[in-house]
Chain A
């Protein structure tokens, strides 16, 4: 039982490059979210989805896009990487909205 799988685990980008962070879950969860975690700050919500074909913005959505074409996958796209996007990114999922989330182990992203 893999749970929530995030790839890659580490990535270094140059300013202006684009990339996609992958997130997949095998628990048939409807609710999926992307967070970023920065030193000295709590987890901040970037985008979330309540089911296939439905996405919405969180607290810090600028510079990121998401899509949800299947229940299992919820990729996060950085359109034009900036140094301010250096962070650890976590994907999370849950079956019901008001239920503890299962988190992946994160993608550590550095923008030079």
Chain B
């Protein structure tokens, strides 16, 4: 069965510090990996999408990495801000590409303290 595991479950850091969130997956075959940010009480918003050939992709202070050989991804947040407090969800798509081919992680709950 396809699985996406995220770690840590929750994380608290001080404003201005950096942090890295992890995503390990066993989805096969692989099409792409997506990171979403979900603010409390809101729907998820796409941060990045990475295909097999992409190792790194940035979106402002967010940088995602992908190692398709070890089936691992990370999301690095630089110089954290209070607005980064949210849940971050890793989603992996199989080669089918449709909604039924998406496997969602449970998310990492990130709290930025002033």
Binding site for B on A (CB under 8 A): 4, 31, 33, 40-45, 48, 50, 56, 58, 90, 92, 96-106
Contact = CB atoms under 8 A, between A and B. Distances in A.
A9 B105 CA distance: 24
Nearest to A43: B104
Interface string B90-114: 0001001111101111110000000
B43 interface: yes
Interface of B: 4, 31-32, 34, 36, 41-46, 49, 89, 93, 96-100, 102-107
A48 B101 CA distance: 11
B97 A106 contact: no
Contact of A103 (B41, B44, B49, B106): B44
B31 A42 contact: no
Given A42-B104, A90-B43, A101-B46, A50 B89 contact: no
B14 to A, nearest CB: 26
A105 B42 CA distance: 5
Contacts of A90: 43-44
B105 A42 contact: yes
A4 B43 contact: yes
Contacts of A33: 99
Contacts of B97: 96-98
A48 B100 contact: yes
B106 A106 contact: no
A100 B99 contact: no
A4 B43 CA distance: 10
Contacts of B96: 97
B100 A105 contact: no
A97 B98 contact: yes
A98 B46 contact: no
